[in-house]
Structure 1
Amino acid sequence: MVYVLNKNGHPLMPTENHAKVRVLLSKGMARVINRCPFTIQLAYGSTNHTQKITLGIDSGSRHIGISATTKDKALFEADVELRNDIVDLLSARREQRRSRRNRKTRYRKARFDNRRRGDGWLAPSVRQKADSHLTMTAKVHKILPISDIVIETASFDIQKIKNPDISGTDYQNGEQTDFWNVREYVMFRDGHVCQCCKGKSKDRILNVHHIESRRTGGDAPNNLITLCETCHKGYHKGTVTLPQKIHRGMSFRDAAFMGIMRWAVYEKLKDLYPNVRLTYGYITKTTRIEHGLPKAHHVDARCISGNTDAVGDGTVYFYKKVRCHNRQIHKCTVMKGGIRKRNQAPYEVKGFRLYDKVSWRNQECFIFGRRSTGRMDLRLLDGTHINASVGYKNLRLLKMRTNYLVESRHTG
Structure 2
Amino acid sequence: MRVFVLNKRGKPLMPCSPAKARLLLKEKKAIVVRRTPFTIQLTIATGEAKQPVSLGVDAGYKHVGLSASTEKAELYASEVELRQDVSDLLSARRALRQSRRSRNTRYRAPRFDIRIRTKRKGWLAPTVENRINVHLSRIETVLRLLPVTKITVETASFDTQLLKNPDIAGKEYQEGEQLSFWNVREYVLFRDGHVCQHCHGRSKDPVLNVHHLESRRTGGDSPGNLITLCETCHKALHRGEITLKAKRGQSFRAETFMGIMRREVLDRLKASHPKLEVQNTYGYWTKHAWMLSASPAILAPKG
Q: Tell me if TM exceeds 0.5.
A: yes
Query: Taking structure 1 as reference, are residues 214 and 160 closer, same or farther at Cα in structure 2, changes over 3 Å only?
Result: same
Instruction: Identify the residue that residue 27 of structure 1 maps to in structure 2.
Output: 27
**Alignment CA distance shift 1:152-1:28 (3 Å):** same
In structure 2, the residue matched to 1:277 is 279
Question: Offset of 1:33 from its aligned partner?
Answer: 1.1
Q: How does 1:114-129 map to 2 (within 5 A)?
A: 115=115, 116-129=118-131
Displacement after TM superposition at 1:195 (Å): 0.2
The residue matched to 2:80 in structure 1 has which SS? strand
Q: Residue in 1 aligned with 2:58?
A: 58
Identity between Structure 1 and Structure 2 (%): 56
State the alpha-carbon separation in 2 of the partners of residues 200 and 60 from structure 1. 46
- Matched residue, 1:94: 94
The reply to whether residue 218 of structure 1 matches residue 224 of structure 2 is: no
How large is the Cα RMSD of the aligned pairs? 1.8
Deviation at 1:11, TM superposition (A): 0.9
Question: Which residue pairs with 1:3 in the alignment?
Answer: 4
Q: TM-score, normalised by structure 1?
A: 0.67
Structure 2 distance, partners of 1:9, 1:277, is 27
Correspondent of 1:239 among 227, 236, 241 = 241
Cα drift, residue 102 of structure 1: 1.2
TM-score when normalising by structure 2: 0.91
Tell me the residue number matched to 1:154.
156
Task: Decide whether the 8 Å contact of 2:59 with 2:154 is kept in 1.
Answer: yes
SS at match of 1:12: strand
- Aligned mates of 1:108, 1:233 — CA distance in 2: 35
Does the residue aligned with 1:13 lie in a helix, a strand or coil? strand
TM alignment of 1:143-182, pairs within 5 A: 143-182=145-184
Q: Which has the higher helix share?
A: 2
**What displacement does 1:160 show?**
0.6
Aligned residue in 2 for 1:13: 14
CA distance in 2, matches of 1:255, 1:103: 41
How many residues align? The count is: 290
Range moving further from structure 2, 185-194 or 41-50 = 41-50
Q: Shift in Å at residue 113 of structure 1?
A: 8.6
In 2, the alpha carbon distance for the partners of 1:50 and 1:95 equals 54
8 Å contact from structure 2 (residues 113, 119) kept in 1: no
Question: In structure 1, how many angstroms separate the alpha carbons of the residues matched to 2:106 and 2:56?
Answer: 54
Q: Equivalences for 1:184-333 in 2 at 5 Å?
A: 184-242=186-244, 244=245, 246-273=246-273, 274-289=276-291
Structure 1 unaligned spans of 5+: 294-412
Instruction: Give deviations 1:289-344, integer Å, cap 9, x for gaps.
Output: 55569xxxxxxxxxxxxxxxxxxxxxxxxxxxxxxxxxxxxxxxxxxxxxxxxxxx
Post-superposition offset of 1:281: 2.1
Rounded Cα–Cα distance in structure 2 between residues aligned with 1:202 and 1:285: 58
Kindly provide the amino acid, as one letter, of the partner of residue 5 in structure 1. Answer: L
Inter-CA distance 77–237: structure 2 relative to 1 (3 Å threshold) = same
**Structure 1 CA distance for aligned equivalents of residues 113 and 176 of structure 2:** 28
Separation in structure 2 between the aligned mates of residue 124 and residue 59 of structure 1, nearest angstrom: 18
Give 1:153 shift.
2.4
Shift of 1:112: 6.0
Report deviation, 1:157: 0.8
SS of the residue aligned with 2:209?
A: strand
1:211 partner letter: L
* Distance in 2, Cα, partners of 1:114 & 1:32: 45
**1:68 aligned partner:** 68
Q: 1:137 offset after TM fit, Å?
A: 1.1
Q: State how far apart, in whole Å, the 1-side matches of 2:202 and 2:106 are.
A: 41
Amino acid across the alignment from 2:42? L
Take 2:250 and 2:56, find their aligned partners in 1: how far apart are those partners?
30
Task: State the shift of 1:237 in Å.
Answer: 0.9
Paired letter, 2:157: S
Distance change >3 Å, CA 102–CA 130, structure 1 → 2? same
Equivalent residue, structure 2, for 1:48: 48
Supply the distance in 2 between the matched residues of 1:239 and 1:106 (Cα, whole angstroms): 41
User: Helix, strand or coil for the counterpart of 1:91?
Assistant: helix
Structure 2 unaligned regions, length at least 5: 296-303
In 1, Cα distance between equivalents of 2:107 and 2:239: 31
Q: How far has the Cα of 1:286 moved from its partner?
A: 2.9
Distance in 2 (CA, whole Å) between partners of 1:271 and 1:59 is 19
Secondary structure in 2 aligned to 1:259?
helix
Corresponding residue number in structure 2 for 1:371: none
